[in-house]
Amino acid sequence: MDLILASKKADKTMMEVEGVGGYYGWSNSQFPLLSQKKLAAGLLLLHPHGFSQPYYSVSSKIGYVCEGECIVGLISPEDSKEEVIKLQKGDALPLTLKTVSWWYNDGDSEFKIIFLGEYDDEYTPGEYCGFCLAGFIGTLNGFSNEFIAKSFHMTKTESE
Q: Per-residue pLDDT tens for 9-37?
A: 777 776 667 778 888 888 777 777 777 77
Q: What is the rounded distance in angstroms from the CA atom of residue 65 to the CA atom of residue 23?
A: 14
**pLDDT the model gives residue 142:** 54
Tell me how many domains the chain contains: 1
The model's pLDDT over 43-88, given as tens digits with 9 standing for 90+, comes to 999 999 998 888 777 778 899 999 999 999 998 888 878 899 999 9
Q: Once rounded to an integer, what is the mean pLDDT over residues 142-153?
A: 65
Residue 122 belongs to domain spanning:
5-159
Find the CATH number of the domain harbouring 48.
Answer: 2.60.120.10
The model's pLDDT over 92-147, given as tens digits with 9 standing for 90+, comes to 999 888 888 889 999 999 999 998 887 765 555 555 555 555 554 444 555 666 76
